[in-house]
Structure 1
Amino acid sequence: MAPATQFEVAQPPNDAISSLVFSNDSSHRLLVSSWDKHVYLYEIVDEQANLINKYEHRAPVLDACFGANNNEAFTAGVDQQVKRCVLNRPHNRRANPPKQALLPRPLRSLLPHPLPPHLRLLGLHPPHPPPLLPRLPPLVIPLPGKPHALSSSPTKLVVAMTARLVHIYDLPTLASATTPPPPWQTRESSLKFLTRAVACMPNDAGYATSSIEGRVAVEWFEDTPESQARKYAFKCHRQAAPEEEGGGDIVYPVNALAFHPVYGTFASGGGDGTVALWDAEAKRRMRQYQKFSEAVAAMGFSGDGKYLAIGVCPGFETGMEDYTGGLGRTRVFVRELGETEAKGKGAK
């Protein structure tokens, strides 16, 4: 059995991490977006993650995803633009990706490939279509509230919004739509406070959400009494307060969720600087990793489940008065998992 190892990427971002994602067809390319107005591309080789390029933007970058292959990426952020990056450029060459779309508001999230050709981005202009397919007009999906997080499974798209609203869209329906269809399902979040993250199960069965109040909820797509009776929520990412401060719990936001692509277990990362691994079916915590020096801001598993990337940076858990950015404190770790480390109780 191969033991787990963990290493740190060289030359991390200089400010808070907004997202990180592995490429679709390689477990060795990692894309990280940051509030320092850059997107970073790392290559993992022999237990090292080295910076091979970075791409400058005009404003903080809030999300990034790979495109049709590991040499193409799309980015979005505060500059209200979706941009396409060509990743096989010489190291340290300043990139000026062509404008892909300009919208009236900052862009929060992108959907990773693969999805139907014109649904790579929610409500935005489509990327270039494959050969023999026509360029379709953008499918703009109006939302009743500000979106905080979104995630997709093979056939579903989950959008978590303000006022505890959750819309679930059927991707095959969207793929054939010329006008925005209604949501496949509309739900109220099982969590009482603001949603921080959402992640869909890789087996297309359901999703998990997390909140600023140290809780995670697990739900299933099937809208039957039996299926809905299975949903549950639990407390996590809390620490006992000192007795001299009155005791009780110090509650931290759960900033990141990620499902393992092979075993279907999931990881959560919180403002307490810890990462925990959970078995959704057995409703139990499998393990909790070491405490990091800063809050966990983003996480992602590689497509083969071999690596878990963890982005840590200063959060606002103690207020914003003394926040000076993440220079010297923002770090990215990559954990190479043991062979059965993420395997749940009922996994084969």
Structure 2
Amino acid sequence: MSMGGAQDQLTIESPPIDGVSAVHFSPVSSNHLLVSSWDSQVRLYHLADNSLKSVFQHRAAVLGCAFEPGGQYAYSGGLDTWVRRLDLNTEKIRVLGTHTAGVSSVVHSQELNALITGSWDRSVKLWDPRQGNPKSLISSHEQPERVYAMDIVKNTLVVATAGRRVQIYDTRNMAAPAQERVSSLKFGTSSLACMPDGSGFAMGSVEGRVSVEFFEETPEVQARKYAFKCHRQVTPEGDVVYPVNALAFHPIYGTFASGGSDGRVAVWDHFSKKRLRQYPAFPAGVSALAFSAEGTKMAIGASYSWDVPDQRRREELKERGDEMETISIVVRDVGEETKPKTGNA
């Protein structure tokens, strides 16, 4: 069904029964959506007929998942510390190895044909997904703190850890980070996404801010970085600030979407430093975002949060009679509202 009667979006039937941790479109078909959840499952949905195609059961909450470029396999990691390869055709699971604490981030490097995982055990590990445990581990790289978020573009891997630390690697030489930075945001990192053109990345914080940063270290390029406030509500008592839980760049236009615990998704043009669109609020905080490979669809995962501001907002919705299902996954058609206002794309 479509929420609110809108014709440009699809609400997924049979959503997870616990928090949505990640959503990803297949790189070869915008009809396939991969979803990981705190209910210990990874689900593959077929959007054309709104059906659940496959379910992969794990032993604990799943915090991250990713596709490989061909779309036949997916990967997952979570609180049970195992790193898995999921065969989406046969529904077979292969364990690649483990961390010693929860796996928080899972990305696939097309250039290396390798899986990369980040963990609360303060390490990043590279895996050869063609091999089984224990031969699959390629290398392990110690981090200054627990890995909170991670993304990759081409040969550049960005790792955000506790303590507001940011490690930037060239994946062709993982012996040491190519750059080490401290986040310009004053509070903990809650989300991270790399620009599709490989020039930089955006980070979100638990304190309702997003920073836009660039890899090139010349003064001219670094002068372009900036940060801004978002996902906050003005009340007579002052600003209510919500965490920025999810970020996703449009693969064609280079604009990006942010999702927060205020239940809202906004689209931003970082070229002109303007907000392009804000969608109506969900009844629960937005926890995951993804654009399809051709940029015509956006998947939104909304699920409850125990953040005090989120609970307060849900109570207000309930009092107004607007309370809806807490956990939902919506796929929106997107178009002109994601195009930048400048000629940069």
TM-score range, shorter chain: 0.7 to 0.9
Deviation at 1:96, TM superposition (A): 5.8
Q: Which whole-Å CA distance do the structure 2 matches of 1:56 and 1:119 have between them?
A: 20
Q: Secondary structure at the match of 2:84?
A: strand
Q: Does 2:116 match 1:127? A: no
State the match for 1:172 in structure 2.
Answer: 172
Given that residues 28 and 69 in structure 2 are in contact (C-alpha distance below 8 angstroms), is that contact kept between their aligned partners in structure 1?
no
Question: How far does residue 341 in structure 1 lie from its aligned partner after superposition?
Answer: 2.4
Q: Alpha-carbon deviations, 1:69-107, whole Å to 9, x = none?
A: 222111111111111111124xxxxx5622221222211
Match for 1:330 among 327, 331, 338?
Answer: 327
1:299 to 2:301 alignment: no
Unaligned runs of at least 5 residues, structure 1:
90-94, 130-134, 175-180
Give the 3-state SS of the residue equivalent to 2:172 in structure 1.
helix
Report the Cα offset of residue 68 of structure 1: 4.2
Residues 191, 321 of structure 1: alpha-carbon distance in 2 compared, 3 angstrom cutoff:
closer
Change in Cα spacing, 1:183 to 1:287, as seen in structure 2 (3 Å) is same
Q: Name 2:45's counterpart in structure 1.
A: 42
Q: For residue 255 of structure 1, what is the amino acid of its counterpart?
A: N
| 1:30-52 Cα distance to aligned partner (Å, 9 max, x none) | 1000010110101121xx53211
Q: Report what 2:105 is aligned to.
A: 109
The whole-number CA distance in structure 2 between the counterparts of 1:261 and 1:328 is 30
For residue 4 of structure 1, report the CA deviation from its aligned partner. 7.7
User: Are 1:18 and 1:33, in contact at CA under 8 Å, matched by a contact in 2?
Assistant: yes
Letter in 2 for 1:210: G
Distance in structure 1 (CA, Å) of the matches to 2:194 and 2:213 = 10
- The answer to whether the aligner puts 1:189 opposite 2:191 as a matched pair is no
Q: CA deviation at 1:136?
A: 7.5
Q: CA deviation at 1:224?
A: 0.9
The number of residue pairs the alignment matches comes to 320
Alignment of 1:59-78 (within 5 A): 59-78=60-79
1:226 aligns to what SS in structure 2?
Answer: helix
Secondary structure, in 3 states, of the residue corresponding to 2:35?
Answer: strand
Larger relative contact order (CA 8 Å, sep ≥ 6):
1
Conserved in 1, the CA contact under 8 Å of 2:116 and 2:125? no
Q: Is the 8 A contact 2:96 2:136 kept in 1?
A: no
Q: TM-score, normalised by structure 1?
A: 0.87
**What does 1:251-330 align with in structure 2 at a 5 Å threshold?**
251-318=241-308, 328-330=325-327
Aligned to 1:213, the other structure's residue is in SS state coil
Q: Which residue pairs with 2:121 in the alignment?
A: none
Q: Contact (CA 8 Å) 2:241, 2:309: kept in 1 or not?
A: no
Show CA shifts across 1:256-276 (max 9, x none). Answer: 000000000000000000000
Per the normalisation by structure 2, the TM-score is: 0.87
Aligned position for 1:178 = none
The equivalent residue for 2:33 is: 30
CA distance in 2: counterparts of 1:144 and 1:162, whole angstroms: 8
- Counterpart selection for 2:337 from 329, 338, 341: 341
Q: Give, in angstroms, the shift of residue 248 of structure 1.
A: 1.2
CA contact (8 A) 1:292 1:312 kept: yes
How many Å apart are 1:137 and its aligned residue?
Answer: 5.1
* 1:177 aligned partner: none
5+ residue gaps, structure 2:
1-5, 118-123, 315-323
Percent identical residues: 42
- Judged with a 3 Å threshold, the aligned counterparts in structure 2 of structure 1 residues 264 and 250 are, in CA distance, closer, same or farther, namely same
Structure (1 or 2) with the greater strand fraction: 2
- 1:316 aligned counterpart, secondary structure: coil
State the match for 2:120 in structure 1: none
Q: Is the CA contact 1:146–1:161 (under 8 Å) kept in the aligned structure 2? A: yes
Tell me which moved more, 165-174 or 53-62.
165-174
Q: 1:310 aligns to what SS in structure 2?
A: strand
